[in-house]
Structure 1
Amino acid sequence: MNIFLSWSGDQSKKVAEILKVWLPSVIQSLKPFYSSTDIKKGKRWDGELSKSLNDTEFGIIILTEENRTAPWIMFEAGALAKNIETGRVCTLLFDIKDTDVVGPLSSFQNTKSTKKDILKLLEDINETLAENKISKEVLIRVFEKMWPDLETEFTKILDSKKVKTKEELRPERELIEESLRILRNMHFRHTVFSNTDFEFDRHDKVIFDKESEAILFYSGEDEEYWIGLDQLNNTAEVIDFIFQVAGKSWCKSKHIKEFVDCLNEISNLYFDTSAQGVICPYGSFMKIDWNKREKARLTLLESSASE
């Protein structure tokens, strides 16, 4: 199970570092994601984080006095709530009380950094593991063995606690800009960039490759067909292409829906509106220049010429 560890600030970062190693030592099937170390050098930061958020099955938001109102924590909490089933996101309170949690974060279930609450958290996680679930007896036995290590590490963090300045939290402007990029990546699920390193699920998908400006059709994992945006310059060409691809032996109804969804995302990307608003607003036939971000109604003369 993929577990997303959300942090902001030095103290919660240290807690995340410890949990990343400690959680799998109790339940081996757990795969914690900790953004400071799991994003490899040279990878697109926002793309990697978007993928991790989308693949996450459980979220732990590490709250401390220094970060409980930090913009980054609020952003990741919102992204986790959007992508994960209700009840699979919790806050881990480190050196703060329940009453210190305010605003949107107060809607999540709080876990205190105590032996009793950490065990309850592990039991909740274990219940969601299906075939990877371990027996309660084994969980408790392993937990009892591993808890002293976690308690010792938590004590070290508390003992070394220092007063932190606001500058030590991630800069707010930088966080807002990165948040917008991440949200955009999460929204455009059919849009990929040729230089993006993370793995993209291509199974029976229709995907827009931004660098080559081509729409790619996959049947299984194999690319079956592609068409460039420069071949979809007006409403008639779009409609004609839909009928063409629908006649292909590999084409399923899913491909047609994926193609329409893909057109919506491309239209949003280039024109900040839906595909209908670009291709056929109010039933009008349109000519479209994707590169110049220009669109105009086809005149009767132009329509006749295209026929």
Structure 2
Amino acid sequence: MEIFLSWSGEQSKKIAETLKSWLPSVIQSLKPFYSSNDISKGKRWDSELSKSLNKCEFGIIILTEENRTAPWIMFEAGALAKNIETGRVCTFLFDIKDTDVVGPLSSFQNTKYDKQDVLKLLEDINNYLGDIKIEKEVLVRVFEKMWPDLDTELKKILTVSSKPKKEIRDDREILEESLRLLRNIHYKHTRFSKNDFEFNREERVIYEKEQQAVIFYTGETEEYWIGIDQLNTTGEILDFIFQVNGKRWCTSKHIREFINCIEEMSGIIFGTSAQGIICPGGALMEIDWENKKVSEFIIKETKFTKKV
């Protein structure tokens, strides 16, 4: 079985290199693949990478503190989920917690850097091998023998890259995200049918918190980019809806995803719904996303002369 190792950043690259040589030492029929080029530097998919992805039957996304929100690892995660059955894609968490995983990556099964969790991952991979899988007792015995090698190498990587620990996400942020997810679930189940919300990775819009931008995608291609400092008034937001709608690549799903992004931004930054920020009671508002300030937009009186 071919396994795709997704990485971004020096730390996760070293982990991918380690897993590439270690996995076949436990299950010999495994053939891990990882690209030696760091796609986080902006390199697009080449033919070799695409061909390998199409042949792979299992995907492991290596997540670290430095890459957990990196746009390019999101690209690979989306491509993996599109080409491989969802149950055959998981994340490998290195020195981060389950609650640190955000966005689409949170929908995958997590494997922590932990002996029992890694063994469970290997058991799952082994089960997908069908007729060529090895007996569980044999797998456990080989794993017990080879685990110290992996553990030693990963600890070296952790030591080299170690820096003062800090909480990646505070309790309030986690609580707010949970509340947003519950609101979205309620909204989706009370207003639309199930089919309206089938996730289509070819047509998606993402609020990129680190870049402070809304990014539109079709497949792997970034089609459009809007900085949140360009969405300062109700009119500007409405204007961008019409602008995007006029693009040849735009679909109704892009418009819906864009509105969802505005909703997400309002929840993250202001802790309330988009309607409460952008147009409460139908009022026109000015929004300062960076400083978390909202004020009513004052329309200057203008005299119009009617042409007869």
TM-score normalized by the length of structure 2: 0.51
CA distance in 1, matches of 2:74, 2:86: 17
Per-residue CA deviation, residues 121-171 of structure 1 (Å, 9 max, x unaligned), is 0000000001210000000000000000000011101111156xxxxxxxx
Query: CA separation in 1, counterparts of 2:85 and 2:220?
Result: 20
Secondary structure in structure 1 of the residue aligned to 2:161: coil
Contact persistence 1:4–1:59 (CA under 8 A): yes
Which structure: larger Rg?
Answer: 1
How far has the Cα of 1:182 moved from its partner?
A: 6.6
1:67 touches 1:73 (CA, 8 Å); kept in 2? Answer: yes
Contact residue 3 and residue 56 of structure 2 kept, 8 A: yes
Residue of structure 1 in register with 2:99 after alignment: 99
Code of the aligned partner of 1:131: D
1:222 matched residue in structure 2: none
Where structure 1 has 5 or more consecutive residues not aligned to the other structure, the ranges are 38-43, 164-171, 184-271, 273-307
1:82 match: 82
2:61 partner letter: I
- Cα distance change of structure 1 residues 182 and 54 upon mapping to structure 2, 3 Å threshold: farther
For residue 56 of structure 1, what is the amino acid of its counterpart? C
Query: Are the aligned partners of 1:46 and 1:182 in contact in 2 as well (CA < 8 Å)?
Result: no
RMSD, matched Cα: 2.9
Please say if residues 74 and 105 of structure 1, whose CA atoms lie closer than 8 Å, have aligned partners that are also in contact: yes
- Give the superposition deviation at 1:181: 9.7
Q: 5 Å matches for 1:271-290?
A: none
Distance 2:133 2:8 in 1: 31
Q: Is 1:129–2:136 an aligned residue pair?
A: no
Which residue identity is paired with 1:134? I
For 1:74 and 1:104, the matched residues in 2 are separated by: 8
CA distance in 1 between counterparts of 2:155 and 2:94 reads: 11
Q: Against the structure 1 CA distance between its residues 88 and 181, is the aligned structure 2 distance closer, same or farther, given a 3 Å change threshold?
A: closer
Which residue does 1:73 correspond to in 2? 73
Q: Partner letter of residue 148 of structure 2?
A: P
Say if 2:75 and 2:220, in contact at 8 Å, map to a contact too.
Answer: no
Separation (CA, whole Å) in 1 of partners of 2:135 and 2:86: 24
Q: List aligned pairs for 1:48-67, cutoff 5 A.
A: 48-67=48-67
- Give matches, 1:143-154, under 5 Å: 143-154=143-154
1:220-299 equivalences in 2 (<5 Å): none
Closer, same or farther: CA 98–45 of 1 in aligned 2, 3 Å: closer
Aligned to 2:264: none
TM-score normalised by structure 1 residue count: 0.51
The answer to whether residue 155 in structure 2 is matched with residue 158 in structure 1 is no
Kindly indicate whether the alpha-carbon contact (under 8 Å) linking 1:49 and 1:182 is maintained by their aligned counterparts in 2: no
Following superposition, the deviation at residue 34 of structure 1 comes to 1.1
What is the letter of the counterpart of residue 62 of structure 2? I
- Residues in 1 aligned to 2:160 and 2:85: alpha-carbon distance in whole angstroms: 36
Counterpart of 2:20? 20
- Hey, what's the Cα distance between the residues in 2 that align with 1:180 and 1:31? 30
In structure 2, what residue type is equivalent to 1:32?
Answer: P
> CA offsets per residue over residues 264-306 of structure 1, 9 Å max, x none?
xxxxxxxx9xxxxxxxxxxxxxxxxxxxxxxxxxxxxxxxxxx
Percent of paired sites with the same residue: 78
> Alignment length, in residue pairs?
170
Moved over 3 A (4+): 179-183
Amino acid at match of 1:148: P
SS in 2 for 1:91: strand
Q: Distance in 1 between matches of 2:17 and 2:162?
A: 18
1:18 is paired with a residue whose SS is helix
Q: Secondary structure at the match of 1:80?
A: helix
Tell me, what secondary structure is at the counterpart of 1:36? coil
| SS of residue matched to 2:86 | coil
DSSP 3-state at the match of 1:90: strand
Q: What SS does the corresponding residue of 2:14 show, helix, strand or coil?
A: helix
SS in 1 for 2:46: helix
